[in-house]
Amino acid sequence: MQMHEVIAQLREKKGLRIIDLHNVMKKLFGEKALCYRTLLRILYGQTNARDATLHQICIALDTTPAYVRSLVNKDLGMNTIYTKRSLRKKRFIYNQKAFADILSGPERKFSIIELTLLPKGMTKVERRSQKKEVSEAWVYGVRNITHCRVSEREFRVKKGDCIAFDCNLEHAFENKTPRKSQCLIIQSNS
């Protein structure tokens, strides 16, 4: 079952029309409530709900995102999601020369990110969390060379190369070449 189908079932069990669900969300979240058109696109399966959006919908339906995800994944152990390039989830912009397209939705136990670095582009230094749990990242070079710095060590990730590391360590990405570089980053959502 897909996420929009699960949400529709939960909404119908509550006896709420779509407009009623939106009104509950407006009461709970005020100006920060999801807009009606976006809610419609999610409920008709035209787009997937992001984490914050799913959180709002679940609160309005008096349930949790984890419960909704468990119903989504119940069918075959994991549902299949196909995303066209033109319908990618979200873009995160580090600066004018570095941006990341989020390719996976909140229903997965991992995130897939396509990082693009223009010449001399660089991300900020990141650290996933201070938790003791291991949160892994796996980086795969797609185009040109991406320099990946993990703690004090630097790796040149060429097209076809890969590196895996603990996201709790400080890390950053940089393009030191005169051409655009890209890599895929897959990281666990723990």
Which pLDDT value is given to residue 52?
82
Residue ranges, the chain, pLDDT below 70: 73-89, 105-108, 128-134, 189-190
- Residue 18 identity: I
Which pLDDT value is given to residue 86?
56
Which pLDDT value is given to residue 173?
93
| DSSP secondary structure, 8-57, as one string | HHHHHHTT--HHHHHHHHHHHHGGGSPPHHHHHHHHTTSSPPPHHHHHHH
- Distance between terminal CA atoms of the chain? 24
Q: What is the number of other CB atoms lying within 10 angstroms of the CB of residue 48?
A: 20
Which pLDDT value is given to residue 187?
84
Q: Quick check: helix, strand or coil at residue 110?
A: strand
Query: Do the beta carbons of residue 121 and residue 108 sit within 8 Å?
Result: no
Which pLDDT value is given to residue 105?
66
Which pLDDT value is given to residue 85?
59
Domains and CATH numbers, the chain: 3-73 (1.10.260.40), 85-188 (2.60.120.10)
Rg of the chain, C-alpha, whole Å:
19
Tell me which residue of 110, 114, 85, 111 sits closest to 98, measured CA to CA: 114
Which pLDDT value is given to residue 72?
75
Residue holding tokens 């991992």? Answer: 110
Which pLDDT value is given to residue 87?
57
